[in-house]
Structure 1
Amino acid sequence: MNGKIYTNSFDIPLTPITKSLYLQALKCQNAFHLIHDEVIQKPNTASFGGYLEWGDYLSLCKGLFPGTPTVEKSTNREESIELSSNYLKQKISHFGSQLRFENFVGSVELMEYEKERDGWILWDFRPIGSIKQDILRSFFFYQKLVEGLGYRVIGFKLIRIQTKFVYKGGEIPSEEYLLIDDVTSRMESEFGVREEEWNLFLQTIQTGNEGSFPYSFLENKPSCRSLKTCLSPSHCAKGKESAKEVFDYRDSSELAKQWFQSGYSSYESVPDSELSPIQKIQKESHCSGKVHFDTAALSQYLSNVTKSVAFLDFESINPYLPIYPETKPFQHIPYLYSLHIWDQETDTLTHKTYLHDDLGSDPRKNVMEHLQNDLPKGITIFSFNDFFEKLIIQESATVFPEYLEFWDSIKSMFIDLALPFKKLWIYHPGQNGKASLKEILPCFSDESHFGLTIREGQDANYQYLRLIKKQVTAEEKKRVLEDLIAYCKLDSYGLFLIYRMLQKRLSVI
């Protein structure tokens, strides 16, 4: 009823404990109780675009087990749980098993019954390239549910993605694209660790059941690493909510927690003796309210820049189910670029852009062709974290070798405009320790991504993938294409504004 579970002896509603809540408890006891006790709403952790590919990925996984029935997700969860229970009693393998034991609920991708050993193998399907700790913890959570229901678990298997797989076109061959990992032996070898985590988890639940949970950012273990990521500082650091500043210090990690425990609550409160050279720069900038500017380092950094300069930004998709021939899972495929070209002698700024709107074809060749035509020869190219732009061009030229000469001619012309901010050769107090373009641009100009419909790269990735998957109307398609161009344009224009700012400051000093 209303998502609640009621005890047999009392009409007291209990919030179901899911796998995600269990994993949350292992990371932060405070966060678990804040969500479980409904003090705050569970944060939305859904990633951009993942569900757009999940259905096809799930079909590939299921294709390895023909004839296996599926427990479809129902608005009435009781029906799904009952159907799963019947399959378990009849020893029938099935997908999407809905399990409930006491106050724990979970969904296992595949419950496979093995007659010879009279036990169940738990399967998980993950569109990932490597095995993470949370996967093993998830398996243990499922194991506790299955064993609690009185069934024997004999193995654990994971289906994930072969990241070295190269798509050749047509249907994706499951046997080449998918990897099957039998993690049974690893689960057995790490049983002690998993059991210890489970017992601590049960203690966490018991502490909450005994009364109001004593939220504490420092005393409860584990807890989140930073007060800035805390789900509710008003509970976990009551009276000290404003002490987030010490967590803005670069490279502070666990040290910031020690500062917080010592009573330091602001930049100026942390003694210089405990700060690194970079952190001292931050402190001085915040205390004085002035921009730190390392003239010598920045002069050297810009010493070989050409008279005309270019500012380049790409947008890409990186689907885990490859779409275009000669691509790998998670490979970034460019579909849009924005290029601003500034002629310093004439003070002329020119904008060039290309958006691949033929959604049924590979965009890379067209992107490379237009970029080669739009980019003047022999000029400096600024990008933010330029490894990304260079990798995209290099990988595209490898598939389309007619552009290898173009790549060879420009790869030495790139300069990373993020470098001065990472090194703290320049630092504005408004950055609050961050060094992303979204944080930097408003500090040094009147421009900001805040007013855009699309404000970050992940959303741009998702929106273009929506277009490819034809999940938009014709009217919406037009709007999305315009929004993508506007977002990418501001990125490259922002680079120009930052470069001009650096030049002006150097000319004045």
Structure 2
Amino acid sequence: MIYPFRKFLPEWVSTLFSLKRPEGEIPKLTKADYTTGLHCEYHLWLNTYQRRSDFDPYEHQYISPKQKSRLRDLSNSFYPDSKNVRYSESETRKILTSGKGVRSACLETDKFSIKTEYILPNEEKPGTFEIVALKASTSFKKQHITEIAFQKFVTEESGFPVSKCTLIFVNSKFPFQGEIKIESFFVRKDVTEEVALKDKETKESAYSLYDLLSRKNLPSRYVSRLCSHPRNCSYPEICLTPKVPGDIFTLREGKEESGRLYDQGILHLKDIQEIESLTPRQKIQIQTMRTGLPHTNQKVFNEFFGKLKYPMYFLDFESINPPIPVYQNSFPFQHVPFLFSLHVVREDLSREPESFYYIEDGIVDPRKGILEKLQEWILPGGSILCFNDKFERRCLEESAAAFPEFKGWLKSIQDDFVDLAKPFWEYDYYHPDQKGSTSLKTILPVITGQTYKNLEIQSGQIANSEFLRAKTEPMSESEKSEIEKNLIEYCKLDTYAMVLILRKIKEWIEKPL
């Protein structure tokens, strides 16, 4: 559902924020601008002329520029005769005019600019060209068609007719055996017909968005599709003024319901009166916001704790999932664990647990190293606690598939797994400060007061990218050691956090709230 929060924005907002286009040349519309503008016209205009100081263009990109560069280097083997023009517009024109192909191509008109991996002469239709776009993905998506349609439009506006469009993406089933064979590693898909269906729409949208950029003030009329959810809005102080929502959009699984309530003028969960149609979790949220007190289902936690057995093993993995596999017998984008933390409570939860960890040593495949250590340290018959155990289970199963000698041990502990996240996911405990979230990093400070704020690495995504950088890019030994230390500290806190949370659960059982 798309929420039209502001069909018309009052003119006073432009005055209040001095949202005016700087004097000078209007920037050309790029592919990134085009896709941004299709999502939200205000986002495009504000990003261009009033960009936030903390704006990070790579914030939501999970593939590093280095990994993308390596993919491009591999795909070059498909087109060995293409000349690398390093995104030079003049060189691109010169070589295409001579009837030859280019890679790292760039074309511009007076209004538009594109960069693309390849523009090649289409030998099947002399005098026309093929655009080839490389995507760090395992399938083609609607967004890819939108992007290549814009590239085709600008290429043709630049005077080079396009008769074929091709997408290259990664084959997720490619088994890495130490060598990349590009014919089976990549998938090349002809998307000419899909792109042609968007020709008219693309041209109209491109000129409309360029017209938007040419305006001197933030447009007062709001005609874009807008955000799928206001929490995704990059400029809420503009787009949602003056009716700024309180916590209404933290309603769990409440996209449509939150939008409906917002349209009725309800900005806070505590102000919702009609709750009969809401889910049990949504009702719990509203109750806690009204009282300011947490909700605890004592019965569920009694049963949860009653099923636990000593010794208790608290387990967490960190993994990488690069598009180009690093380890033998792995696949593109497969999560391969490189680090685990294990805290062990033998018989008394109030005592400090034993702490173990393993991190890839650069000699042994980390999956084998992890399985060897865990087989030594985790014995059948206890309780293995994870926060969302599906991930740890999958890592172990896929690791044992690569090293089948550990399948017997893994089978012997399968019934010992306990998902500590489950009662929190079900809102058997919920605190108003959670704001709808049930992540470990939200639960820990709410229940114990401890946080991840003092760590250099504070998320699994950063851990993933930092280890991959240390594994595949040149750096000093001291920098590698620092990254390794930070990774271990982060992973250890994940498992110790579970110990602290379980202690709190034990307190609730012994001294009911």
Pick the aligned partner of 2:58 from 42, 45, 56.
45
CA distance in 2, matches of 1:49, 1:126: 11
Is the contact made by 1:158 and 1:182 (CA closer than 8 Å) also made in structure 2?
yes
1:86 lines up with 2:88 in the alignment: no
Aligned partners of 1:220, 1:344: CA distance in 2, in Å? 63
Provide, for residues 185-225 of structure 1, a one-character-per-residue CA deviation record: whole Å limited to 9, x for no partner. 2223x33xx63365345434435545523468xx5431112
Q: Which piece of structure 1 moves more, 454-463 or 359-368?
A: 359-368
Matches within 5 A, 1:403-422: 403-422=406-425
The answer for the alignment partner of 1:206 in structure 2 is 211
SS in structure 2 at match of 1:352: strand
Shift in Å, 1:357: 4.3
CA distance in 2, matches of 1:211, 1:256: 34
- The alignment covers a number of residue pairs equal to 486
State the partner residue of 2:48: 36
Aligned to 2:32: 20
Cα displacement (A) at 1:141 = 0.6
Q: Residue 111 of structure 2 aligns with which residue?
A: 103
Compared with structure 1, are the counterparts of its residues 201 and 153 closer, same or farther at alpha carbon in structure 2 (3 Å cutoff)?
A: closer
Deviation of the 1:17 alpha carbon: 1.5
1:223 counterpart SS class: coil
8 A Cα contact 1:49 1:465, kept in partner: no
Write the letter of the residue equivalent to 2:44.
F
Q: Runs of 5+ in structure 1 lacking a partner?
A: 1-10, 74-79
Residues 261 and 282 of structure 1, relative CA distance in 2, 3 Å threshold: same
- Conserved in 2, the CA contact under 8 Å of 1:338 and 1:351? no
- Check conservation: 1:272, 1:280, Cα contact below 8 A: no
Q: Deviations over 1:450-478 (max 9, x none)?
A: 11000001111111112212432111111
1:125 is matched with 134
CA contact (8 A) 1:48 1:459 kept: no
Is 1:255 aligned to 2:257, yes or no?
yes
For the 8 Å contact 2:174–2:184, the answer to whether it is kept is yes
Please give the alpha-carbon distance, in whole angstroms, between the structure 2 residues aligned to 1:215 and 1:389.
Answer: 50
| Equivalent in 64, 69, 78 of residue 78 of structure 2 | 64
1:215–1:236 contact (8 Å) kept in structure 2: no
1:296 alignment counterpart: 299
Match of 1:187 among 195, 212, 215: 195
1:391 has 2:378 as partner: no
CA deviation vs aligned residue, 1:19-71 (integer Å, no higher than 9, x gap): 11111111122211111233535542353552232232212100111122111
The structure showing larger relative contact order (alpha-carbon pairs under 8 Å, at least 6 residues apart) is 2
- RMSD after superposition: 2.0
Matched, 1:55 2:69: yes
Which residue does the alignment assign to 1:431? 434
Asked if 1:159 is matched to 2:168, the reply is yes
Cross-structure match for 1:3: none
Verify the 8 A CA contact 2:383 2:418 in the aligned structure 1: yes
Measure the CA separation in 2 of the matches of 1:289 and 1:145.
Answer: 56
Structure 1 residues 116 and 180: alpha-carbon distance in aligned structure 2, compared to 1, 3 A threshold: closer
* Structure 1 residue 503: Cα displacement: 2.0
Q: Which SS does the other structure have where 2:153 is aligned?
A: helix
> What is the CA–CA distance in structure 1 between the aligned matches of 2:472 and 2:220, rounded to whole Å?
45
Alignment map for 1:130-149 (pairs within 5 Å): 130-149=139-158
Q: Deviations over 1:206-264 (max 9, x none)?
A: 35545523468xx54311123222111121112333x1411100111133222222211
Q: Secondary structure at the match of 2:489?
A: helix
Tell me which residue corresponds to 1:112.
Answer: 120
* Match runs of 1:436-447 below 5 Å: 436-447=439-450
- Partner of 1:30, secondary structure, is helix
The TM-score normalised by the length of structure 2 is 0.90
Change (3 A) 1:210 1:483: closer
Q: How far is the alpha carbon of 1:325 from its aligned partner? A: 1.3
Q: Matches of 1:198 and 1:442 in 2, distance apart?
A: 51
1: CA distance, partners of 2:349 / 2:272: 48
Q: Find the counterpart in structure 2 of residue 227 from structure 1.
A: 230
Q: For 2:260, give the aligned amino acid.
A: Q
Residue 44 of structure 1 aligns to which amino acid in structure 2?
P
Equivalence for 2:494: 491
Query: Relative to structure 1, is the Cα distance of residues 39 and 72 closer, same or farther in structure 2, using a 3 angstrom cutoff?
Result: closer
Q: Do the aligned partners of 1:93 and 1:112 also contact (CA within 8 Å) in 2?
A: yes
Is the CA contact 2:106–2:113 (under 8 Å) kept in the aligned structure 1? yes
- Partner of residue 267, structure 1: 269
What's the CA shift string for 1:334-374, capped at 9, x where partnerless? 11111111234474333333333422542111111111111
Q: Which moved more, 1:434-443 or 1:33-42?
A: 33-42
Aligned mates of 1:244, 1:166 — CA distance in 2 = 49
How far 1:500 sits from its partner (Å)? 1.5
The 2-side partners of 1:14 and 1:245 are apart by 38
Deviation of residue 176 (structure 1)?
Answer: 1.4
* TM-score normalized with structure 1 length: 0.90
The answer to whether the 8 Å contact 1:250/1:279 transfers is yes
Provide the C-alpha distance between the structure 2 equivalents of 1:225 and 1:485, rounded to a whole number of angstroms: 37
- The one-letter code sitting in structure 2 at the alignment partner of 1:22 is Y
| 1:333 matches 2:336 | yes
Residue 353 of structure 2 is aligned to residue 350 of structure 1: yes
Question: Could you tell me which amino acid in structure 2 is paired with residue 358 of structure 1?
Answer: D
1:440 is displaced (CA, Å) by 1.2
Matched, 1:279 2:292: no
2: CA distance, partners of 1:257 / 1:204: 27
Query: Using a 3 Å threshold, how does the CA distance of structure 1 residues 210 and 398 change in structure 2: closer, same or farther?
Result: closer
Q: Give the residue type in structure 1 aligned to 2:429.
A: I
* Gap change, CA 1:446 and 1:412, over 3 Å in 2: same
Q: Give the % identical residues.
A: 27
